[in-house]
Structures are given as C-alpha cells and as structure tokens.
Structure 1
Amino acid sequence: MSDFDFKGKGILVTRAAHQAIGLAQRIRESQGRAIGFPALEILPSQQPDQARNLLRQPWDVIIFVSPNAVTHAMQLLSDHRLVATLGAVGQATAAALRQCGYSIDLIPADRYDSEGMLKLAPLQRMAAKRVLIVRGEGGRTLLGESLQARGAEVGYAEVYRRIKPSVDPTPLLAQWQEQVDLVTVTSVEVMHNLKTMLGEQGWPMLRHTPLLVISERMHLEAKKEGFETILLATGADDDAILAAIQDWIGCPT
C-alpha cells in the first residue's frame, strides 16, 4: 500500500515512455490518475563506436549525467568493467549505476545538477586529471568547461540522443480542463518540447496548470517561460516527485 494519497488528481507524466512506467504505476497506487504524454524520446547514439572507444580508455573520473547515460553506456561496454572514480549527477543516476554493480564515489549533496556536482570537494583541484562525461548528444557544457578551467582534460562519451516525439496533442487537449491537475517535467528540454507539442492552442491551459520541476535551474527557466504555479521537487527520483505531489495536495502523510 502506498504512503501517499493523491485523491484522484490527474497527473501528466512527460518522461520518455520507457522511463515513465514506474512513476505512473506509483501514482496509480497512490490513488492518482497517471496520464502519459511522453515529451521526449531516447534513441541510441548514431556514433556508438566513438563512444565505446572513449568508455574503454583509462580515466581518473567518469561522470554520468542521467540514468539514460548509464543504460546506454552499459550496453556499449558489454562485459568491460569501468575502473575509475565514478560520479552521478543525481540519485536516480546513482541508483542506475548501483544496479549495474558499481559503487558511487561522487554525488551532489544538495542540488542534483551540474552546479551541484561542481561544488564537490574532490572536483576542485583537477590539474592533470582525465575526466569523461557520459551524456546524450548535445548536452550542457557547464560541467565540462568548468572542469577544464580547473585543469582537467575532459572527454565526452555521447551514448544516446534525444528527439521530440511526433504526437497529435488533440485528444489530450480535449480532456485537459477536466483531467489534468498537475504536470510533471524532469528536464528543461522536456518542458520546452511539451510547450511546442501542445502548440498555441495548448499553451494557455499548460501555463495555468501547476508545473512540477526537479531542479532550481528548471524552476528559473519555467518562470522565464511564463508558468504561473511552479512546484520544486528535491530530486528527479520517483520518491522525490511523489513527495512533492503530496505536499502540493496538502495532505502530508
């Protein structure tokens, strides 16, 4: 039995379809209505050999930026084991690494993003250190550029790519007013994709619907976009998102 009670609220889940299953199930177990509308699709890298070669090189530090980075990197590695100081930008990424049999050496203590990772003491003095950042194609540059400025040699293993799904939003928009009480988004890209996918017709409804985000950076971006009510979870993992939903409903367990 769930510790939460979402009182029949309709919660839009915008994660990529393969990552939304667990969260949607837990929303239903918590007496909520999970409404799936993936605003991101994850595909393998178009240059897997390049990423595989980078992963097999010797590195002092390897940082994974997302659970998708872990999943696709492990597929490329096959039976090769990583030997390095391992970092995870967030709790969900750390959990994915642990499921693959790895211990986590570096994880932010407060905010789960590049800014939080850069606060860690072991990453302050990086002269002559080789750092590999495992990410999707075209990810943020802040982490790598900051580590380079601290003296590190930085490489990028881009193990997956993200695309915006081609989906007709008409059925969702037709039921929005009666069915959607809260929208969850787990990246700035997902938020922008969702706004684009819903179009001009959907933006007024989206803007007026409470939006749950998972980082301070996303919170700032959502304010710039014009969202009226923005909720901030403490992380991207399911537990943090569910707790934030419960806080919003106003019925703490």
Structure 2
Amino acid sequence: MIPTSPVVVVTRPLRQASNLQEKLQQQGRTVIVFPLFEIESISNNLELDLAVRNLHQYAVVMFVSPNAIDALFQCVEKKHGKTWQWPEETAAAVVGAASRQSLLLHGVSDTNTRIYCPRNESRTDSETLLAELPLDDLAGKKVLVVRADSGRDFFVDALKKASIEVQTISSYRRVIPFFDKVKQQLLSTFLQSACDWVITSSSVLTTLLAWCEQLDQLELLARGDSQKNICPAVAKMQQQKLYVPHFRIAEVARELGFKQICLTASGDENLILALQSQL
C-alpha cells in the first residue's frame, strides 16, 4: 500500500490561502485552510486617504506585508478609481516575494517605479531591507510606512536615526478568530496524525499553542481531572512539522518548543518546493 502524504494545514486567512491551496492540490496534496487570524481593514482611515492623495510627496513607501499593500490599493480604488497610477518619483519597499507579487497584481513593478527588496530570499526582514535603501540620499526626505496596528519599530527607528522624516499609518489589524467547537474538533483531528503546517506569521504560533492549552483544559474538565500540568495537546503540537518562510518565525518556533522546523526561502513557490521535496 502506497503511503499517503501528510495533510497540509495552511494557517493564513481564507482569502490569502486560496492560491497556495490550489497550487498544492494540483500537485496531489490534501490541503486544509485553518485560519489562525483574520485581516480587518481600519475603516474611515483619514490618514491613509490623505497619504494616497499625496503619495508623490514621499521618496519611498514601505509596506510591511501584502495586507498593507491591499489596504492602500483598496483606498485608492475607493477614492480615485482604477485610472489612478503609482507616481514614478515614489519608490516602493517590501520585505518579501509575496509583497512584491502583490504590488505586481496592483500594477506596480520595476517597469514603472523603483522597488527595494532584500536580495537574499533566505532572510527577508526589516534589517535586510534597510541595507538596500540609499539612506544618505533619503536624509531629509519623507518615507511612508504602511503597516498593521502593531508590530516592530526597528525599521522606523532606524530611518529616523538616519535623519529621514518618517510617517507611519496603520492600515489594518489582525484579529484572532473565536475558538469555537468546529475549530476545536479540527485541531484535535490534526493532532492525531503528523501534518505539515504552513506558518507565515510568528503570532500564529502563540495562538496555536493557546488553543492547544484550551483543548487540554476542556479535556480535563470533561474528565473531572484536577491535574493542571497535563498538556498532551501542546506536546503533540510541538511535534508537528512546520514550514516557515522567514528565519524570525523559525526562531520564535524554536523558543516555543517546536521540534521540526523547515525554513524555506520567501514566497509561495519556495514553500511549495520545500513541501514537495520533503515527501
């Protein structure tokens, strides 16, 4: 009997997981989307509206993620329609292949503007993006950072230290979904076998372990057991195999006790290659 490959669990929001799910299914993998966060746009975002109208005033617009890109272009379409064009004099900066692809889907590419992006696909973060920027040339100029309502301040602090005028705008927020009975049953099922987990955000890991702890507590309550230090769901989760496209996510996973971590290069194509090569 030919052994079946592990189920791939994609933890992205449903809308962002569909492309990866489809490509993996085309290669014969069983894929289940199990969102561990949702993206919620910040409504009536007057700061973002104003920035879009004056985008030509910024030397660089830095996006922390594809979600930040989508949020800005949703604002563009709402306020200016589909005829609006990215100003040639304004460069874009992104940290990974997924963000670069998202820019391309919105009509922004190397053919119509300068795009800064880390050249080393195995390490894509604020530090490596910063190394690509002409900081001396940007001194005294304006840079816009479009991001979530929370996150690291390394990039912003480094730009300010280089005498660059920085404006930050929160364009979206991550929302943790309710851990209802359907999700409880799904997670319990995943833990009964070895799955391949696609983790593209370090915050997902803490949510995942918190949900496992809730499963353990529910099990103890169902059994009437008072032993609070029993955590089989957490232990089983830490034995699952993770596929992560960023070294910082891998670091967080190790700190949280995960044992099997496959670090891939940035972008869905590299995630797919890694998942298929490990079969």
TM-score by length of 2: 0.81
Aligned equivalent of 2:219: none
Distance 2:193 2:257 in 1: 22
After superposition, the C-alpha distances for 1:89-136 in whole angstroms (9 at most, x for unaligned) are 111111111111112421110122212201114246531021101111
1:197 positional shift: 2.5
- Aligned pairs for 1:112-127 (under 5 A) are 112-123=124-135, 126-127=138-139
After superposition, the C-alpha distances for 1:17-52 in whole angstroms (9 at most, x for unaligned) are 111111112221111111221001001114511222
Aligned equivalent of 1:72: 71
- 3-state DSSP class of the match of 2:278? helix
Q: Give the % identical residues.
A: 28
- 3-state DSSP class of the match of 2:170? strand
Q: Is the 8 A contact 2:42 2:172 kept in 1?
A: yes
Distance 1:74 1:143 in 2: 22
Distance 1:121 1:49 in 2: 28
- Aligned pairs for 1:1-253 (under 5 A) are 7-57=4-54, 58-78=57-77, 79=80, 80-83=84-87, 84-104=90-110, 105-110=115-120, 111-123=123-135, 126-168=138-180, 169-199=183-213, 201=216, 202-235=233-266, 237-249=267-279
TM-score by length of 1: 0.89
1:164 positional shift: 0.7
Larger radius of gyration: 2
- 3-state DSSP class of the match of 1:97? helix
Q: Which runs of 5+ in 2 are unaligned?
A: 217-232
- 3-state DSSP class of the match of 2:243? strand
After superposition, the C-alpha distances for 1:137-162 in whole angstroms (9 at most, x for unaligned) are 11221111111111111111211111
Q: 1:244 to 1:210 in 2, by over 3 A?
A: same
Distance 2:96 2:48 in 1: 22
Structure 1 vs Structure 2 CA RMSD: 1.9
Q: Number of residue pairs matched? A: 243
Q: Is the 8 A contact 1:56 1:82 kept in 2?
A: no
Q: After the TM superposition, which segments of 4 or more aligned residues of structure 1 sit over 6 Å from their partners?
A: none
Q: Is the 8 A contact 2:194 2:241 kept in 1?
A: no
Counterpart code for 2:253: A
